Structure 1
C-alpha cells in the first residue's frame, strides 16, 4: 500500500513516516512536507519527499506525484495555543485538511482499481467537540476546531455515494516523544498519554486494515 503522510517534521508526523518505512505492508510513503526531512528518510528507497509550501491548494503536478496512493495519514495541526491566533489555527486545521480531502477524492480515488477505497486518517484529539455552540471549560478553541474538522470530513465522506473515500479520526490524549523522561511518563499516565511511535503504529494499522468505527478514541488507540 502506498500512503501519504503530512506534518512530517512534527512529533506525530515524523513518527508516522518512520513507522510507514518500517512496515512491510507499506510499499511506499509520500512525505508531503514544507521543510526537508532528515537524511535517513530522504535516502530511503521506500520514501519520496515532496516539498510543498501552501497546503490550501494541491495543484495537479503535485497530485500526479501522489499517483497510486491508497491512504493518507494527516498530521498537520496541533493545539490552538501553538498558533498566533484562532483564525490562523482554523485555516491550517480546517481549510488545509478539507482541501486535501477534496483533492484526493477527486483525483486519486478514480485512479484506484475498482472496489478499492482510499482511507484518510485525521489526527484529531481527545474531547474534540462537534457542537460549535457548546460552551467548553478547557481547551475550547482546540476542541471546537478539531471537532469541526471531524464533522466536515465525515460529512464529506458521507456525500461520496460510491463509498470509496473513507474517513477515520484518531483522538489521542497527550502524546509523548520517544525520549520522554520518567516524570513525563508518570504524569502522562494520569491522562492516558500515548507514545508517539505507539500512536503511529496504531494509525498505520488503521490505514492498512480500516476499523469498525469512524471515531477512534484514545483507549482504543492504546490497544491497537
Structure 2
C-alpha cells in the first residue's frame, strides 16, 4: 500500500516513518512536509529506504500539480499537521485556525480526489487530534477552551466529509493525550507534566504506541471513527507485540 504521512518531519511523524519503513505491507511512503524529509535516525537495518519519497509542499492551502502527482495513488493518509497549545500562544488566532482547520480540510479534499487504483476502494484518512478536543460548542473546556473547540471543529469536518463521500473516504479521529518518549524528557519536566496531566485529566501515550496504532488502522482498516487514548494504547501495544514476535497484521 502507498501511505501519505502529512507532517512527516514532526515528533510523531518521524516515528510513524521509522515504523513504516520496516513494515512489509507499506510499499511506498509519501512524506509530506514544508521541508525535505530525511530517513529517520534509528530506522534500523531492516528499513527499506527506497520506499520513501519526500514531498515538499510550500502552501497547504493550494497544492501544486507536482505535489498532487507525488501523492496520487495513495491508499491512506495519516494527518499530523497541526499546532500544540504552546505554539498557539505565539500566533495570531486567524493563523492558528488556518493551520489547524484550513490545512486539514484542503488536504483531505485534495488528496481524496486524486486518482487511485483501485478507485473503488475507500481512501483511509486518519486525523490526529487531541484527547480534550471538543466537538460540541456547548461543552467548551475551561482550559484552552477555544483551542479545544477548534480541534473539535476540525474533527467534525473530517467526519462529515467521510459521511457525504458515500464510502469513497473512510475517516478516523485519533485523540491521544500527552505523547511521550522514554528518555526524551528530564526528571523535573516529567514531574511538571505529571502534575499538569492530573490537573486537567490528560492521559498519556508513548510515541511508539501511537505510531503503531495509526499504522495498524491505515493498513488493516479502521475499527471505529473515533479512537480515544486508551484505544490507541491498546492497538499500539498489540501491534508492537506482534512485531516483536516477528508477525505483522496484514490487510
Counterpart for residue 211 of structure 2: 200
Q: 2:130 aligns with which of 125, 128, 134?
A: 125
Output the CA distance in 2 between the equivalents of 1:203 and 1:119. 11
Instruction: Establish whether residue 71 from structure 1 lines up as the match of residue 76 from structure 2.
Output: yes
Per-residue displacement from partner, 1:124-163 (whole Å, max 9, x unpaired)?
Answer: 00021112344320121221111001101111111112x0
- Higher relative contact order structure (alpha carbons within 8 Å, sequence separation ≥ 6): 1
Could you say which structure has the larger radius of gyration? 2
Output the CA distance in 2 between the equivalents of 1:115 and 1:36. 32
Q: Is the 8 A contact 1:12 1:196 kept in 2?
A: yes
Output the CA distance in 1 between the equivalents of 2:182 and 2:128. 18
Task: Point out where structure 2 has 5 or more consecutive residues left out of the alignment.
Answer: 42-47, 236-251
Q: Is the 8 A contact 1:11 1:177 kept in 2?
A: no
Instruction: Establish whether residue 176 from structure 1 lines up as the match of residue 180 from structure 2.
Output: yes
Alignment of 1:134-173 (within 5 A): 134-161=139-166, 163-173=167-177
Q: Is the 8 A contact 1:30 1:66 kept in 2?
A: yes
Q: TM-score, normalised on structure 2?
A: 0.80
Q: Is the 8 A contact 2:126 2:173 kept in 1?
A: yes
Output the CA distance in 2 between the equivalents of 1:210 and 1:139. 33
Per-residue displacement from partner, 1:148-183 (whole Å, max 9, x unpaired)?
Answer: 01101111111112x021110100000013433474
Q: 2:227 aligns with which of 216, 220, 224?
A: 216
Instruction: Establish whether residue 104 from structure 1 lines up as the match of residue 111 from structure 2.
Output: yes
Output the CA distance in 1 between the equivalents of 2:71 and 2:129. 23
Per-residue displacement from partner, 1:58-116 (whole Å, max 9, x unpaired)?
Answer: 223211112221000000013243131222111001000000111122224xx231531
Q: Is the 8 A contact 1:30 1:48 kept in 2?
A: yes
SS in 2 for 1:107: coil
Instruction: Establish whether residue 50 from structure 1 lines up as the match of residue 55 from structure 2.
Output: yes
Output the CA distance in 2 between the equivalents of 1:6 and 1:18. 14
Q: Is the 8 A contact 2:72 2:111 kept in 1?
A: no
Q: TM-score, normalised on structure 1?
A: 0.90
Instruction: Establish whether residue 8 from structure 1 lines up as the match of residue 32 from structure 2.
Output: no
Task: Point out where structure 1 has 5 or more consecutive residues left out of the alignment.
Answer: none
Per-residue displacement from partner, 1:22-49 (whole Å, max 9, x unpaired)?
Answer: 21111111001112233558x9201000
Output the CA distance in 1 between the equivalents of 2:86 and 2:146. 9
Q: Is the 8 A contact 2:217 2:223 kept in 1?
A: no
